[in-house]
Amino acid sequence: LVIVFGAIASGKKSSFKDVVIKRCQTFLKEHSNMARENDCEIIWKAFEQAYIGRDPCDIPPEAYDPLINSVKQDVVCNTMLFWSKTKDMVQAFTDKRDCLVILEGTLLGALFDGLTWCSKNESQETFTTDCPSWSYCQNNSVRSFWNRASSNFAATACGNVSAMLNGSLEAPFSSTSTFGSIEVKMLDHSKVNSLTVLLVTKETDTTTCDNPSFHSLQNTLDTKIAYKCRKVPYSKVEGCISDLEIPCSDCL
């Protein structure tokens, strides 16, 4: 208590490391079956070595391999959900339901979602401001992390998987998105049976499952994996976000 008060009195904000360690401990409290296999300090060290002391535009996705290997989490087949341009809705939907799991609902994704970090050549520090933006350079510390984490999430997927896409867009599937350029390609036909697009559509939207962008999705998808697409009314998803009594099977 004295230390906490000292931190408040001196106006010192909690460090980036404190935020990540706190998220890690909270996640392991909520998923107590994972606590034995995961060590938050070891995960932090593996994370840090990817970018500390390096040019923030020169972090290849592979720099995060030790981090990926330090996190132990079993995947549950038939529950994996990908998304593109639907982040807020998907996070609200999956937050309190276990029927579908997104990357941000796994330990790895939960630790770093919404955060920004980078270092510099010769530095031992983590900075959370003035880091390269998403598109400023390809191999920036944050984007490479999400590319590597997304690639791993998709590579471990199994059974029937789904993707929530935005039916308010003229082209809901984009081959340059993380979903289109990494996740679809990493699905392994020896484990994944089908990919179902859940096209979330508002009443006034005109985009359907016949949208031409889904041809490029099917061309990218391994031919051994079945492709399906279904329109899901936005109002139905909203209803399921606000009323947890509605079973998942009635939501999608």
Residues within the interface to ligand ZNA (CB under 6 A) = 82-85, 87, 102-104, 113, 134-135, 146, 150, 177-179, 183
* Shorter beta-carbon distance to ligand ZNA: residue 123 or 133: 133
Please choose, from the candidates 16, 227, 21, the residue with its C-alpha nearest in 3D space to the C-alpha of residue 141: 16
Eight-class DSSP state of 229: E
DSSP string computed for 110-177:
HHHTT---B--TT----BSSSPPPTTT-TB-HHHHHHHHHHHHHHHT--EEEEEEEETTSS-S--TTS
For residue 158, indicate whether it is catalytic. Answer: yes
What length is written for the chain?
252
49 CB-near residues (< 8 Å, 6+ apart)? 66
For residue 40, indicate whether it is catalytic. Answer: no
Please give the backbone phi and psi of residue 100, each rounded to the nearest 5 degrees, phi first. Answer: -130, 140
DSSP string computed for 177-197:
SHIIIIIHHH--TTTEEEEEE
* Shorter beta-carbon distance to ligand ZNA: residue 78 or 246: 78
Shortest Cβ distance from residue 163 to ligand ZNA (Å)?
8
Look up residue 132 and give its two tokens.
């390269």
* Shorter beta-carbon distance to ligand ZNA: residue 113 or 205: 113
Q: Which residues pair with 201 in a beta bridge?
A: 233
* Shorter beta-carbon distance to ligand ZNA: residue 170 or 245: 170
d(CA 237, CA 145): 29
Shortest Cβ distance from residue 128 to ligand ZNA (Å)?
15
- Identify the active-site residue in 57, 99, 137, 158: 158
Please give the backbone phi and psi of residue 159, each rounded to the nearest 5 degrees, phi first. Answer: 80, -140
- C-beta of residue 75 within 8 angstroms of C-beta of residue 68: no
* Shorter beta-carbon distance to ligand ZNA: residue 70 or 175: 175
Shortest Cβ distance from residue 76 to ligand ZNA (Å)?
16
Active site residues per annotation? 77, 158
